[in-house]
C-alpha cells in the first residue's frame, strides 16, 4: 500500500530523531518532503542524504516558536512543490524541572515550541488544505499527555493541550482535513538532551531500578554497547515512532487513524 507517493509532506523537527527517520521513510515511498528544523547543519545533511538517494526533498530553517518563520516554511513548501498535503508537527523539547526551580524561561520556550508551534503550523496550512479539499495534520504528543509526575507538569500540559487541539481541528474540518495524534512513551532519541533536571526522572524511572539493572545485565548487547537503543523492549526506538507516523499518513482517502498510543512492551521494567 502506498498512498503517499507524490504527496507533499512538511515535517518539523526533521533534523534528527524520528523527524529525520519519518522524512527519510516518506521520501523512499515517493513523497516530496520539506524538512524544517531550527538547526541548519543537521537539516541540510538529512536533506542531502535524501536527495542523494534519489528522493525529492528540500529544507528550510524554521523555529516553530516564531509564527513568521512557520508561515515562511509553508510558503516555501508551496513555492517548491506546489502544495502541502501533509503537515507533521513533530518539533518539541522536554525541559523537565520542578516548579520550585522557577525555570520560567525554559517553560515559556516549551509552550512556544510544543503547543504554539503546532498552532502556527495549523494556521499556516488550514486555508490551503481546505481549498484543496483535503489534507492531513499529524501532531506528535506523548504518553504524558494523560499521565504526569513531579517535574513533568509543563511538558505534560503542552502535550495534553496538543490532544485537545487535534480533537478540535478534527471536529472543525469535518473530514476535509484528516487529523492524527501520536502518543509515544519513552524513546531513545535526543529529546532527553533538553531535560533540565535529571533527578526528576527518579520519580518514575527509579521505581523499578532493580528490575531495570537486571534486564541490563542480562542483555547480551549491553556489554558491547551499553546504549539505551540496545535495551530491547524497554524503551521505544525512534524508528518505531517513525513507522507509526508513516502508517497514519499512508492510509487511503476516507480512512483516518485518529490516535496511536505506542509504547515499549517491557517499559514497566523501568517506569
The pTM of this model reads: 0.88
The whole-angstrom separation of Cα 171 and Cα 184 is: 23
Contact 31, 8 (CB under 8 A): yes
Determine how many CB atoms are found less than 10 A away from the CB of residue 157.
Answer: 18
Q: What is the pLDDT of residue 238?
A: 87
Q: Please state, for a pLDDT cut of 70, what percent of the chain lies above it.
A: 80
**Three-class DSSP category at 177:** strand
Taking 3-state DSSP, the helix, strand and coil percentages for the chain, each rounded to the nearest 5, stand at 50, 15, 35
The 10s digit of each residue's pLDDT in 88-136 is 999 999 888 889 999 999 999 999 999 999 999 999 999 999 999 999 9
Q: How far is CA 114 from CA 36, 62, 215, in A?
A: 15, 14, 33
Q: Is 6 left (phi over 0), alpha (psi -120 to 50) or beta?
A: left
Q: Is the pLDDT of residue 261 over 90?
A: yes
| Catalytic residue (choose from 120, 144, 155, 183) | 155
Which residue do the cell numbers 501520536 mark?
A: 182
Q: Please state, for a pLDDT cut of 90, what percent of the chain lies above it.
A: 68
Q: What is the pLDDT of residue 225?
A: 37
Q: Do strands 56-61 and 32-37 pair parallel, antiparallel, or not at all (unpaired)?
A: parallel
Q: What is the pLDDT of residue 206?
A: 53
Q: What is the pLDDT of residue 211?
A: 60
Q: What is the pLDDT of residue 266?
A: 63
| Range scoring the smallest mean pLDDT among 17-26, 72-81, 98-107, 157-166 | 98-107
What's the mean pLDDT when you consider all of the chain? 87
Q: What is the pLDDT of residue 226?
A: 39
Q: Is the pLDDT of residue 2 over 60?
A: yes
Q: Which three cell numbers stand for residue 70?
A: 512557520
Where do the domains of the chain lie?
A: 8-269
Active site residue 247: no
**For range 139-151, the mean pLDDT:** 89
Under 8 Å CB-to-CB from 40, ≥6 apart: which residues? 61
Q: 8-269, which class in CATH?
A: alpha beta
Determine how many CB atoms are found less than 10 A away from the CB of residue 132.
Answer: 14
The 10s digit of each residue's pLDDT in 169-227 is 999 999 999 999 999 986 655 655 566 565 666 665 555 556 655 655 565 454 443 34
Amino acid at each position: 500500500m502506498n498512498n503517499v507517493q507524490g504527496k507533499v509532506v512538511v515535517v518539523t523537527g526533521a533534523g534528527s530523531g524520528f523527524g529525520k527517520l519519518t522524512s527519510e521513510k516518506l521520501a523512499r515511498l515517493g513523497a516530496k518532503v520539506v524538512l524544517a528544523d531550527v538547526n541548519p547543519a543537521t537539516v541540510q545533511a538529512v536533506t542531502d542524504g535524501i536527495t542523494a538517494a534519489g528522493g525529492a526533498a528540500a529544507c528550510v530553517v524554521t523555529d516553530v516558536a516564531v509564527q513568521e518563520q512557520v508561515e515562511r516554511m509553508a510558503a516555501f513548501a508551496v513555492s517548491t512543490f506546489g502544495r502541502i498535503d501533509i503537515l507533521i508537527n513533530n518539533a518539541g523539547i522536554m525541559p523537565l524541572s520542578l516548579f520550585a526551580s522557577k525555570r520560567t524561561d525554559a517553560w515559556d520556550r516549551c509552550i512556544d515550541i510544543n503547543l504554539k508551534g503546532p498552532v502556527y503550523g495549523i494556521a499556516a496550512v488550514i486555508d490551503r488544505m481546505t481549498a484543496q479539499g483535503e489534507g492531513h495534520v499529524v501532531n506528535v504528543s506523548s504518553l504524558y499527555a494523560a499521565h504526569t509526575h513531579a517535574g513533568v507538569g509543563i511538558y505534560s500540559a503542552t502535550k495534553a493541550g496538543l490532544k485537545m487541539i487535534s480533537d478540535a481541528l478534527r471536529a472543525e474540518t469535518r473530514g476535509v482535513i484528516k487529523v492524527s495524534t501520536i502518543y509515544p512513551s519513552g524513546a531513545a532519541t535526543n529529546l532527553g538532551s533538553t531535560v533540565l533536571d535529571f533527578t526528576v526522572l527518579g520519580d518514575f524511572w527509579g521505581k523499578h531500578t532493580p528490575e531495570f539493572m537486571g534486564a541490563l545485565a542480562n542483555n547480551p548487547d549491553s556489554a558491547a554497547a551499553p546504549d539505551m537503543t540496545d535495551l530491547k523492549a524497554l524503551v521505544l526506538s525512534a524508528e518505531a515512532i517513525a513507522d507509526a507516523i508513516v502508517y497514519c499518513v499512508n492510509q487511503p482517502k476516507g480512512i483516518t487513524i485518529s490516535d496511536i498510543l505506542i509504547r515499549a512492551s517491557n517499559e514497566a521494567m523501568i517506569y
